[in-house]
Amino acid sequence: MTDPLESVEAALEDEGLFFSRDDDEDAFRIAFKSEGDRYFIVSYRDDPTFIMIGSGWALPQGIDAQDAIDVANRLNVRKKFVKTALWLEESDVLFTVELCVSTAEEVRPHFGRLLNVLRDSAVEFFEQLRSES
């Protein structure tokens, strides 16, 4: 089977970023950092046209869960591409871009934009959460 994330690796090279691979029997996975923040990319062996790019962040202690849900909902309405999801049991918030592509090569010219919107979503989420509390 061809590696669906090969051209995503090329996009990371274009961006001048280091990355590491951690594939297993279920999925192709890439981990990387940009400006010190951690991101992941995943594609599943049984669904290679699906690609997810994301980042996970810890929620600050003592935040009101409903405030966080409200902020996430507002971002989901307003932001292109990015899905903001709360994982309250783990006290985490996840920002993901989920794509359906014929080949991962389609992602390469847009990768910088997708990374920017992921980054901006996280910044806006925490800024809005601070202003809510």
Partner 1 sequence: MSSVRERMLRFIEGEGHRVDASPVDPGTGVSELLFRTRGQVFSVTTNENDATLISISTAYEIPEWARERSQNAETLERVRAQHGDVAFTLAHDGSLFVATLEQQATSIQELMSAFWHLVARVREAGSYAVEDMVDRTESKVAAEKFINSFMMPDR
Q: Binding to partner 1 by residue 125, rule CB under 8 A?
A: no
Neighbours of 2 (CB within 10 A): 8
Closer residue to partner 1 (CB): 35 or 46:
35
- Which string of DSSP letters, residue by residue, matches 69-96? HHHHHHHHHH-SSEEEEEEGGGTEEEEE
Q: Rounded distance, CA 50 to CA 64, Å? A: 33
**To the nearest whole angstrom, how small is the minimum distance from the Cβ of residue 97 to partner 1?**
16
In the range 5-44, which residues lie near partner 1 by CB under 8 A?
Answer: 15-18, 32-36
Which residues are CB-neighbours of 76 under 8 A, at least 6 positions away? 82, 83, 84
Site size with partner 1, rule: CB under 8 A: 12
**To the nearest whole angstrom, how small is the minimum distance from the Cβ of residue 37 to partner 1?**
8
User: What mask, x for binding partner 1 by CB under 8 A, covers residues 43 to 82?
Assistant: ----------------------------------------
Q: Are residues 98 and 83 in contact, defined by beta-carbon separation less than 8 angstroms?
A: yes
Residues forming contacts to partner 1 in the complex (CB under 8 A) are 15-18, 32-36, 112, 115-116
